[in-house]
Structure 1
Amino acid sequence: PTTPATAGAGAAEPAVPAAAVYARATPEQKLSLIERMRTSGEVVAMTGDGVNDGPALRRADIGVAMGGRGTEVARQAADLVLADDNLDTVVSAVEEGRRVYANIRRFLVYGLSGGATEIAVMLLGPLFGLALPLLPAQILWINLLTHGLPGVALGGEPADPAAMNRPPRPPDQSILRAGLWQRVVRIAIVLTAVTLGVAVWALHTGRPWQSMAFFALGASQLGVALGSRARPGSLANPALLVAVAGALLLQLAGLYVPLLRDLLGTEPLALGDLAIVAGLSVLGYAAARLDRILHREPPPR
């Protein structure tokens, strides 16, 4: 068993941190503690305000200096300076960092799954008798609507209530790991099946299949945006709800406004056909929600 360091410069250096508190540690002992904790896989934050804290602040993963009573040496060596000298601010900063990181991953799932779906629809469509599943202008319109305001609004998602209960992620972990790219593939498969299924059914029943595929692809992607929310079923982040509603109205305008129809090459849909496509597009929301439930992110190492 290891023995904690005792006070004084001549104290024995601890092998591995085994105590909750070390008192009157020398600058050398602080450096040793940080180095040994980092070697064992811990993510270390160091707080300090004095000149002798500078080396340890620099060596830690995150050095935190006091902005009010801290020395200039400590502030220059630190990665983060607390303007209010309140350690509770560190907790708020960690939570905000995890919220931003989660929202970046959330947008990547949303954007990459939609982009992969568009590629898959264009490549697989001819195999099902769809010579040109979507026109270039239609693809650009869908990208404008889905990656525009809804994509920006996803960045305003609040923090997950359980965010602070998780340990830190490994510093060397790619943002695409921890199941993200697998989630992109699974959701893209569902969106592709919905879009091609609607188009093939409409083609064989004499309906305007390209316009139905156009609406299905855009609406199902917007469903993924709603399904990616951190707190589904609540009014948190109302900007996302407004952005999705506005994008959906513009998608409908692409079918029913004459000027946009001429620009996009679409045809108006009968109300019954529109209801069918809208109902199937809900599968985009269901895919995003079920995937988060059935394939939860693995805990960090």
Structure 2
Amino acid sequence: MHKGKLTNVNPPRITTEPIEQLKQSRAAGTISNYYKLINTMKEWKPILSFGEITLDFIQQFHNHELEVGNILSTVYKKHSNLKFLIGIAVDKEKLAKNPYEKFEIKKNIKAQNNDVLTEEELKKLQAMYDKKEYSKGKQEVLREFLFSCYTSLSFAEFSVLTYSDIKPITVETGETYLILCNERTKTSVTYKIPIVSPIVVALLGNGEPCQKIFLPISNQPTNRYLKDIMADLKIDKTMTFHRARHSFRTIAAKKGIRDGIAERIMGHAEGNDIKDIYTHLHDEDIVKEMRDKWVV
């Protein structure tokens, strides 16, 4: 028998059991963020043991998140959640100490001015899409990203949309437009997106009522494709898919789109003021506002 330190052949691996135990004391949104973090890490490191969680591992995770296109504020939010979960592991004596003791989590990140696109940059992206020079996967990501910039549809909503969610609406002048209507996955708040531009209609394509409109790939490869696309077009901005919604909101404000209309389109959670605005909005109001102030 060999003397000396024993080696653990099968070191304990990270599981989601501690998260389950937190459900009674943490908000549902917080629990959801913990699971998203674990799933993100599984994509990066499918097998991970407690012994691998070192300061060097934390720095590697930080670099990886930046490489896939996440902005600093998002990365540091993930660090905060990871630090908390590792703290639980320390309390349960799975780890001797928390490596975050030597890693600074910056809480006050200055707002980044390069996280939204301008109309001119959108035109560049649209022109690239129209050329159809990208591979199928990258072309589809660009299609979805453009659609989100024009409509504010979030990444989570793309996978559930079918052509049955598109309804025609005729305005008082006799013109008929399309309106995309469903509930946000995150908040269950109804959004209503007018499709008033031929360019945006073309991005929808055609299909049977039960057919999915979009077939998005997972978030990380989507953001990697976006990073490549921005580099191809020499758009020097840190861009993730979520920035499409930010771009929509910024351009809509510059176009003079009323706040109540923009909030309804984006499906934001209904606070008291927003709810009062929603009550007096009709589908025709939303369509006419976009038609008159922002047609791509």
State the TM-score, normalized to the length of structure 2.
0.22
More helix per residue: 1
Instruction: Specify which structure has the bigger relative contact order, considering alpha-carbon pairs within 8 angstroms and separated by 6 or more residues.
Output: 2
> Whose Rg is larger?
1
